[in-house]
A and B are shown apart, each in its own frame.
Chain A
Amino acid sequence: MITLNLNGKDHELDVPDDMPLLWAIRDVVGYSGTKFGCGMGLCGACTIHIDGQAMRSCITPVGQAVGKAVTTIDALHGDPVGQAVQQAWLDVGVAQCGYCQGGQIMSATALLKGNRNPDDAQIEAAMAGNICRCGTYNRIKSAIHSAAGKLEAKA
């Protein structure tokens, strides 16, 4: 049995250590906001936070998350930075199909936690691992700036 602390709650999971967190979260626990896109850490659709760091859950074995706090998009609204990012996404009208956007928001939130005022180049560097096939990149950039501005005003 593996104890996984997910979205603030401990879950006892009967899964092999090497099962990627993505499938443990989706198939075993049942949170569905984290998406499968590539299985190789190439697209970012499965991005989650482990102790606040953005990680690709499709290549992170569940065993590696033991003793750490795992957060998914499903519970991000409880985080003030996450909430600001989500709101900015709505204000800017980022999403098209929306499938990748949970992962984009998780990456953007992690970025803003480490850098409250990223410039375009820093945003590109932080977000280059998240693919959006609908091509919403410019709006993602705008939304990150907008969230940064709102967080700055609040601080």
Chain B
Amino acid sequence: MSTLPMDDFAVANLSRRGFLKGLGVTAGALVIAANWGWRDAFAEEKKSYGADGMPNGWRDDPKVFLSIAADGVVTFVCSRSEMGQGVRTSLAMVVADELEADWAFMRVIQAPGDEQRFGNQDTDGSRSMRHWYEPMRRCGAAARAMLEQAAANRWQIPVGECQAREHRVVHQPSGRSLGFGELAEAASQLDVPPRDSLKLKSPEQFRFIGKESTRAIDGADIVNGRAVYGLDPRFEGMLYAVVARPPVYGGKVVRYDDSATLKVPGVVKVIEIAGSPLPSEYQPLGGVAVVARNTWAAIKGREALKVEWNDGPNAAYESRAYRDSLSKAAHAPGKVVRDLGNVQAVFDQASQVLEAEYYIPHLAQAPMEPPVATAIVNDGTCEVWAPTQAPQVTRERLADRLGIPFDKVTVNVTLLGGGFGRKSKPDFVIEAALLAKEFPGTHLRVQWTREDDLHCSYFHTVSVEYLRAALGKEGRPEAWLHRSVAPSISALFGPDPKHESPIELGMGVLNLPFAIPNLRLENPEAAAHTRVGWFRSVSNIPHAFAIQSFIAELAASAGVDHKAYLLQLLGPDRKIDPRSLGDEWNHGESPELYPIDTARLRGVIEKATQEAGWGKKQEKGRGLGLAVHYSFVTYVAAVLDVEVKDDGALLVHRATIAVDCGPQINPERIRSQMEGACVMGIGNAALGEISFANGRVQQDNLHMFEVARMPLAPKDIAVHLVRPAGEVPLGGVGEPGVPPIAPALCNAIFNATGKRIRDLPIRAQLKDWRSA
């Protein structure tokens, strides 16, 4: 480690400061077999929800998460990965508030992967704040109580007369006070008070929680280029590698010729990495690695490499043909996942039946930082530095693949240059460790190029959604049939079930909250031919796109205003037990604590439409589009004001977003997450497509897999934070902003042009709309 400030990795030093004692790795190997984010959601014994239901649960011990130095600096150990959602700032705000700390004294360091010590660290599912808000409040409050007790002991007075206020403990009657730094040593000797003795602040006492003023903890490092991401840890004499991976999922190396590669100056060695049998879960795809003295030499070396591949069982994967097969499956009965009333009987007698088929292709997360990791393997130990959303899972897989004990593996978590689900899968970290093993005692970095990232991602699923409705009086649907056809993420972990998992179906299909008397939801078969994985918002994206587009189509066909139609479909305000809809998952949350509240859906619809000036007359070529979606136990409505130029180019004048995520901890980040989700959602809809031919991804770089650039972003994004009536628990924020965007955009395009977009991406579909 040479030139970089590496404070983020100086975790071990903490044991010498204040509270934190011996932050080492825990003893004993903990290797959980089917260890993925949703892993035990359907275990038969499952009784626990929320943070309790996550592997290794939660912790709230201040001796684990906090240290206070003699100079008063508070160091908070953030156990959740930072990828732009602001978790390092938001959790620090929560702790600092209950601690009564001065924000200027707050520092944050990143926890290594160690769930025995820190509780669950899987940073996915939009659940960091909703699972960690209460534990971190208690953590801060317990530390505050210890500081107050330490002051009381020092002054020999009852603790009830001592009060922590802005980084000091004050004795009101005498006006005496001691700084946190002066009390830290003594406080650290005290036992952590029992949970039921803690006095949490009341909301009117909050100084940071729910307030706008707190600056991002990493802001200054970011703008100065000092923030440390996965590709930044630097070590004396380190090696750099890139890997030629099989271009087809399941492909293998037949033979390779590295004679030209080895002549490239700087190339050190060429090493074959063994792939894994399908399904490959989080294991590397295998291939041939070029190890060099710098990244460029490795890249040049790989260009000179000749590899012959056996493409394996997915060699024929072709997106156009696959789409036809999904479409065919969608037009025939499939596995019934929910059935209410008698849909067929209504269809048989209906005078007006509408049907539509929607398509969303594969997408790549394409985080700006492509996968990258650095490893060192020596004397039966392994240490890695990685931008991972899943440090514990990474550690388990490393121990397993290297055949060394879990406690000999250290996973240091850097900042993530974007995650979006890609970095929940540690294949790239395992690659680094496997290669580093060939150079004991030397640090080795595996760098994925953008081409690698796009060719070998864990792609967002591809789907055809078929919807059919019979309209009755006032044009309302009397019967509703939805067939959702998409390869499942489950296919990564075992034999391909060819059906969406209950979790994927629970993202908008099963938990459809509308008051429709006859309802049939089916899930025909679809086989996976590539690695399908989490992509920000996951299956909510295609489900919301289809359902929210279809409702707009029904409204148009009934001649009813879309908003009025949507509210009518929602029915009277009520709280729906998701289990009554066949959704046992409910984003992992308790159905009692987190029912689907249609009043909150109505609330965001009304707020977004009101703020957007819904109903205003616009000239041809410009339109407002509305969509609403409930996901990650949060309610989001969006209205997009879109102009379609004569040549079909899109100009999004304004996005009006209303979000109800329950209590708002860091409103600034809620807004920025909604803004970003809106831009990503527009990019997905307008441009996003990963397609396959001969089993190979056809998009090589960002000129072929296009994402939103500045001109495509709405000229204005107004985010409205809706406060729900009454007490409700926290909802997610990172993901729920994405799903309503694509349908809102396409509904706006319809209102602007009369053209209905059912296939994404939109790309050039609008170029002739004036003449159509």
Partner of B710, one of A36, A72, A141: A141
Inside 8 A of B450's CB, which chain A residues have their CB? Answer: 37-40, 42-43
A40-70 CB mask vs B (1 if < 8 Å, else 0) is 1011010000000000000000000000000
Name the residue among B296, B416, B708, B709 with the largest chain A CB count within 10 angstroms: B296
**B225 near A137: Cβ-Cβ < 8 Å:** no
Inside 8 A of B215's CB, which chain A residues have their CB? Answer: 90, 93
Inside 8 A of B220's CB, which chain A residues have their CB? Answer: 90
Say whether A26 faces chain B, with CB atoms less than 8 Å apart: yes
**A98 near B294: Cβ-Cβ < 8 Å:** no
Min distance, Cβ A111 to any Cβ of chain B, angstroms? 12
Partner of B225, one of A33, A132, A135: A33
**B672 near A93: Cβ-Cβ < 8 Å:** yes
Inside 8 A of B332's CB, which chain A residues have their CB? Answer: none
Nearest opposing residue in chain A for B703, CB measure: A42
Partner of B222, one of A36, A42, A74, A95: A95
- A-B interface, 4 closest residue pairs, ranked by CB to CB distance from nearest: A33-B225, A135-B679, A99-B417, A97-B84
A24 to B266, CA, bound (A): 13
Min distance, Cβ A78 to any Cβ of chain B, angstroms? 11
A15 to B370, CA, bound (A): 25
Say whether A32 faces chain B, with CB atoms less than 8 Å apart: yes
**A37 near B370: Cβ-Cβ < 8 Å:** yes
Say whether B172 faces chain A, with CB atoms less than 8 Å apart: no
B613-629 CB mask vs A (1 if < 8 Å, else 0) is 00000000000000000
Say whether A145 faces chain B, with CB atoms less than 8 Å apart: no
**B296 near A38: Cβ-Cβ < 8 Å:** no
**B702 near A43: Cβ-Cβ < 8 Å:** yes
Name the residue among A15, A42, A133, A139 with the largest chain B CB count within 10 angstroms: A133
Q: Given A36-B370, A97-B415, A101-B222 in contact, is the A42-B701 Cβ separation under 8 Å?
A: yes
**A74 near B225: Cβ-Cβ < 8 Å:** yes
Say whether B17 faces chain A, with CB atoms less than 8 Å apart: no
A93 to B4, CA, bound (A): 25
**A86 near B294: Cβ-Cβ < 8 Å:** no
Name the residue among B366, B676, B680 with the largest chain A CB count within 10 angstroms: B676
**B713 near A137: Cβ-Cβ < 8 Å:** yes
**A138 near B216: Cβ-Cβ < 8 Å:** no
Q: Given A36-B231, A43-B368 in contact, is the A135-B708 Cβ separation under 8 Å?
A: yes
Inside 8 A of B709's CB, which chain A residues have their CB? Answer: 128-131, 137
**A76 near B225: Cβ-Cβ < 8 Å:** yes
Nearest opposing residue in chain A for B89, CB measure: A93
Min distance, Cβ B361 to any Cβ of chain A, angstroms? 18
**A138 near B714: Cβ-Cβ < 8 Å:** yes
**A23 near B675: Cβ-Cβ < 8 Å:** no
B206-222 CB mask vs A (1 if < 8 Å, else 0) is 00000000011011101
Inside 8 A of A134's CB, which chain B residues have their CB? Answer: 84, 368, 418, 676, 680
Q: Which A residues, 18 to 35, have Cβ-Cβ distances below 8 Å to chain B?
A: 19-20, 23-24, 26-28, 30-35
Say whether B33 faces chain A, with CB atoms less than 8 Å apart: no
B668-703 CB mask vs A (1 if < 8 Å, else 0) is 100011011111100100000000000000000111
A88 to B673, CA, bound (A): 19
**A30 near B295: Cβ-Cβ < 8 Å:** no
- Chain A residues engaging chain B, CB cutoff 8 angstroms: 15-16, 19-20, 23-24, 26-28, 30-40, 42-43, 45, 72-74, 76-77, 86, 89-90, 93, 95-102, 105, 120, 123-124, 127-141
Say whether B707 faces chain A, with CB atoms less than 8 Å apart: yes
A33 to B3, CA, bound (A): 12
Nearest opposing residue in chain A for B240, CB measure: A27
Q: Given A93-B219, A93-B668, A133-B420 in contact, is the A138-B717 Cβ separation under 8 Å?
A: yes
Min distance, Cβ B142 to any Cβ of chain A, angstroms? 31
Say whether B79 faces chain A, with CB atoms less than 8 Å apart: no
Q: Given A36-B231, A45-B368, A97-B368 in contact, is the A90-B223 Cβ separation under 8 Å?
A: yes
**A33 near B710: Cβ-Cβ < 8 Å:** no
B198-240 CB mask vs A (1 if < 8 Å, else 0) is 0000000000000000011011101111111101101000001
**B417 near A137: Cβ-Cβ < 8 Å:** no
Min distance, Cβ A100 to any Cβ of chain B, angstroms? 5
Partner of B219, one of A16, A90, A105: A90
Q: Given A20-B296, A131-B707 in contact, is the A99-B234 Cβ separation under 8 Å?
A: no
Nearest opposing residue in chain A for B221, CB measure: A98
Q: Given A131-B709, A133-B420, A141-B710 in contact, is the A39-B219 Cβ separation under 8 Å?
A: no
Say whether B367 faces chain A, with CB atoms less than 8 Å apart: yes
**B224 near A19: Cβ-Cβ < 8 Å:** no
Nearest opposing residue in chain B for A126, CB measure: B710
Say whether B2 faces chain A, with CB atoms less than 8 Å apart: yes
Nearest opposing residue in chain A for B214, CB measure: A93
**B226 near A30: Cβ-Cβ < 8 Å:** no
Nearest opposing residue in chain A for B449, CB measure: A39
Partner of A35, one of B2, B216, B231, B668: B231
Min distance, Cβ B294 to any Cβ of chain A, angstroms? 4
Partner of B716, one of A74, A99, A129, A138: A138
**A86 near B223: Cβ-Cβ < 8 Å:** yes
Q: Given A40-B701, A101-B223, A128-B710 in contact, is the A96-B676 Cβ separation under 8 Å?
A: yes
Partner of A120, one of B675, B714, B715: B715
Inside 8 A of B368's CB, which chain A residues have their CB? Answer: 35, 37, 43, 45, 97, 99-100, 131-134
Q: Given A86-B224, A120-B715 in contact, is the A127-B294 Cβ separation under 8 Å?
A: no
Min distance, Cβ B227 to any Cβ of chain A, angstroms? 6
Q: Which B residues, 708 to 753, have Cβ-Cβ distances below 8 Å to chain A?
A: 708-711, 713-717
Nearest opposing residue in chain B for A37, CB measure: B368
Say whether B484 faces chain A, with CB atoms less than 8 Å apart: no
Min distance, Cβ B275 to any Cβ of chain A, angstroms? 25
Partner of A38, one of B84, B672, B701, B711: B701
**B234 near A139: Cβ-Cβ < 8 Å:** no
Partner of A96, one of B447, B672, B683, B703: B672
Min distance, Cβ B640 to any Cβ of chain A, angstroms? 14
A74 to B216, CA, bound (A): 19
Nearest opposing residue in chain B for A43, CB measure: B702
Inside 8 A of B703's CB, which chain A residues have their CB? Answer: 40, 42
Inside 8 A of A99's CB, which chain B residues have their CB? Answer: 229, 367-369, 415, 417-418
A93 to B220, CA, bound (A): 10
**A131 near B702: Cβ-Cβ < 8 Å:** yes
Partner of A133, one of B294, B449, B707: B707
Partner of B367, one of A89, A95, A133: A133
Say whether B413 faces chain A, with CB atoms less than 8 Å apart: no
